[in-house]
Amino acid sequence: MARPEIAKLGHVALVSSDLEKSLWFFKEVIGLEETEARDGVHYLRAWGDFQHHTLSLEAGDGGQVRHIGWRTKRPEDVQAFRELLEQDGVEVETVKAGTTPGIGEAIRFPLPSGHQFELYYDVEKPKADEHRRSVLKNQTYKAWAKGVSPRRFDHVNIHTDTDAALTYDFLREQLGFKMREYVRDDDGNVLAGWMSVTSLVHDLAFIQKPSLPSPARLHHISYWSDDSQDILRAADILKENGLRFIGPGKHGISQALYLYVMDPGSGCRVELFTGGYLIFEPDWEPVEWTLAERDLGNTYWGDTVSDKEDNNVTIMA
């Protein structure tokens, strides 16, 4: 039997201490479309996302992420991952089909860092209502209907105060992630890694930061726009709505253009993202950055993330 594989990043389940503000931010400012609302949970996606949702929002005490979801390549991969994980002593929870709207049977489990992942294959791909539907058969919604209007969900960036090596090994060996670029300290430890299961430079970034108040943290989620003009337009929209942001700038690692803004309801940081490069080489060798080069890796040019970043990082549940 072929080794199970993850196909793509699926969704993030976010809890907000001010749901009304979060819905305003993600729907009206960022411009995500609501697929449905059920039992107090709102399910959103970008105009180019196909599956039921890429972000869910619900009310709760403080900003939290319940789990990060990933879609497998084949239906049988869900069970195959379960068997591999349980063989390695990982506690795996079964989630019945339909527990989360639009998603079939899934499994949930913790990374060594404590972050909760969910794997599933079966998804619904609901069509948009007629007044929101694109005339293009290969596109879900009309583009530019409102707000920033990014095309699709792109990646997540998570942090930990634990030994990152355990989680890097887990992501590679158990889940099949490939290291694309990384930062190594003077003692030889990998402190930050950009990893993917697709041709993207990263579907997931994982960074060790000893000063964090808890081991499992979310730094940001990211939505992709088509080009640099979209990011400049996003800056205008954020400014008009009274939101502070970091950027625009360009990362050295990934070579992508970025802009960061905080959801005022949950405290979740959102990166608006474009550019960069894709990896098609089967023998790609991970790119190493040293601590001395880290500033260049983070910010090739533009507004520096580390200079203005605060500690309002979303807590993983």
Instruction: Say if residue 178 is exposed, middle or buried (CB neighbours under 10 Å; 0-12, 13-18, 19+).
Output: middle
Could you report the per-residue pLDDT of 103-159, keeping only the tens digit for each? 999 999 999 999 999 999 999 999 999 999 999 999 999 999 999 999 999 999 999
> Considering the chain, what is the average pLDDT of its residues?
94
Q: How confident is the model at residue 57 (pLDDT cuts 50, 70, 90)?
A: very high
Q: Is the pLDDT of residue 307 over 50?
A: no
Contact call for residues 198 and 298 (beta carbons, < 8 A): no
- Mark out the alpha helices in 34-134 (DSSP H runs): 77-87
How distant, in Å, are the alpha carbons of 2, 61, 87, 93, 97 from that of 81?
Answer: 11, 32, 10, 12, 17
Predicted local distance difference test score (pLDDT) of residue 62: 86
Which tokens sit at 83? 């068997």
Q: How confident is the model at residue 309 (pLDDT cuts 50, 70, 90)?
A: low
Task: Find the mean pLDDT for residues 211-238.
Answer: 94
Q: Which CATH number is 152-316's, of 3.30.70.260, 3.40.50.300, 3.10.180.10, 3.90.70.10?
A: 3.10.180.10
Could you report the per-residue pLDDT of 195-218, keeping only the tens digit for each? 999 999 999 999 998 888 888 999
Task: Find the mean pLDDT for residues 171-197.
Answer: 96
- The answer regarding whether domain 6-120 maps to CATH 3.10.180.10 reads yes
Domain with CATH 3.10.180.10 in the chain: 6-120, 152-316
Q: How many residues does the chain have?
A: 317
For residue 33, the cross-strand partners are 45
Contact call for residues 14 and 65 (beta carbons, < 8 A): yes
Which tokens sit at 79? 């069970």
CA distance 294 to 299: 8
Task: Find the mean pLDDT for residues 238-245.
Answer: 97
